Amino acid sequence: MVEHGIHATQAVVTLDVALPGIIWGWMITLNMWAKSVGTGVILVGAFLLYRHKKEEMPNLRWTMPLISFVFLNIFLLFTLTDLHHPYRMVNIFLHPHWTSAITVGAWMASLFTALITVMLIIGVGEELPGVPFKGCKLTAWGSKNGKLYDKIFPFVVFLAFPVTMYTAIIMAESSARELWQAPAEVMQMIWAALLAGSAGLIFVSGKWSKEARHDLALVLAIATLFSFLMYMGEYFFSFKSSEAEATLAYVHSGGAYNTEFWFGMVLGFVIPFFLAVSNMKSDNKTLLRFAALLALIGLYMAKDVWLKIPQMLPLS
């Protein structure tokens, strides 16, 4: 029967070279994930400072830049490590090519990290005298320049948006991977930052007021809900091009990364959403921290799948 032969009538590659597999792997996933936390705590921290008095969140002044500093350095470390010539990173600053989102992003992220470092020094100098050691000139300088913290903070918040979003522009410039050529990617980055930022701050919110923690749970709930809805929209309804469709069809059919994707969705978005919503009524710190932990794990898995699946498609 003809229909039984259709499969065999398709063109079949019978001789070809080995094609590259996954080029951007777990290091890039970790890079994006860590950047979401590093920028997200600033965005969510700014929101909380807008809504509440500083006294309600006594440790925010130093924990916010500390979390951001740690995760931004993880992000920068793995950005560097993923390069085949890490020392040549300096070329981005010596020979910048401004049409590249990688260049623009590297400059912005470096500036952002420098400003966060200043905020951290001031925050630690003011709030934690004697840390890291007595007589530390850096933190002593920080303790005397509290006003500088307040002056640079608005600029840092403003910069956090492009720093968190520029990866979406890199993905848009990666024109070989059509799955990433979606306007939704920019919003995904923002939701990821809000999710990761609220999750990061939840771990240090033990002594905060109930109201402040309520707002953290609210941000986490909204971010997980919208992240989930956007992934679902892209996963099921966003068949824009033949390549994006072929990529998703492979995952739909139970191919590699199908399990990781659904684990990411349920673990990272669905369960934390319900936990966060329930926590808005009853202030359960442990449950909220559990939700934050799940959200961070799930976000990593979701990002990992979205990064890798379009790379499995042969380009030629």
Partner 1 sequence: MKLGFLVDLNLCMGCKGCEVACKVENEVPLGSWRLRVKYIDIGTFPDTSRSFTPLRCNHCENAPCERICPVSALHYLENGIVNVDSSRCIGCAGCMMACPYGAIYMDPETNTADKCTYCAHRIESGMMPACVVVCPVQANIFGDVEDDTSHISQYIMEHQGAVQVRKPEKHTNPKHYYVGGGTQTLDPLAQQRLEGYNLFNNITHLKHVGNPNHGVIDRFLEPFEAEEKLDNRSFIDFDNHESEGGH
Smallest gap from Cβ 241 to partner 1, in A, equals 8
Indicate whether 23 belongs to the interface with partner 1 (CB under 8 A). Answer: yes
Subset of residues 261 to 280 that bind partner 1, contact rule: CB under 8 A: none
* Structure token pair of residue 257: 């990364």
Indicate whether 13 belongs to the interface with partner 1 (CB under 8 A). Answer: yes
Whether 238 contacts 81, CB under 8 Å: no
Q: Which stretch binds partner 1 (CB under 8 A): 21-29, 44-52, 65-73, 140-148?
A: 21-29
* Structure token pair of residue 150: 């307040």
DSSP readout, 280-291? HHS--HHHHHHH
Indicate whether 162 belongs to the interface with partner 1 (CB under 8 A). Answer: no
Name the burial class of residue 114, with classes exposed (0-12), middle (13-18) and buried (19+) by CB atoms within 10 angstroms of its CB.
exposed
Indicate whether 53 belongs to the interface with partner 1 (CB under 8 A). Answer: no
H/E element, 275: helix 271-281
- Which residue, 3 or 55, is less far from partner 1 as judged by CB? 3
Binding partner 1 (rule: CB under 8 A), the pick from 131, 155, 158, 173 is 173
As a whole number of Å, the end-to-end CA separation of the chain is 32
- Contact pattern for partner 1 over residues 178 through 217, marking x by CB under 8 A: ----------------------------------------
Name the burial class of residue 118, with classes exposed (0-12), middle (13-18) and buried (19+) by CB atoms within 10 angstroms of its CB.
middle
Smallest gap from Cβ 310 to partner 1, in A, equals 9
- Which residue, 18 or 135, is less far from partner 1 as judged by CB? 18
Binding partner 1 (rule: CB under 8 A), the pick from 50, 137, 147, 315 is 315
Name the burial class of residue 103, with classes exposed (0-12), middle (13-18) and buried (19+) by CB atoms within 10 angstroms of its CB.
middle
Q: Which stretch binds partner 1 (CB under 8 A): 118-126, 199-207, 214-222, 236-244?
A: 236-244
Instruction: Tell me the CA distances in angstroms from 301 to 60, 68, 260, 261, 307, one per residue in order.
Output: 28, 21, 6, 7, 10
- Contact pattern for partner 1 over residues 84 through 103, marking x by CB under 8 A: xxxxxx-xx--xxx-xxxxx
Binding region for partner 1 (CB under 8 A)? 5, 8-21, 23-24, 81-89, 91-92, 95-97, 99-103, 106, 170, 173-177, 241-243, 246, 311, 313-316
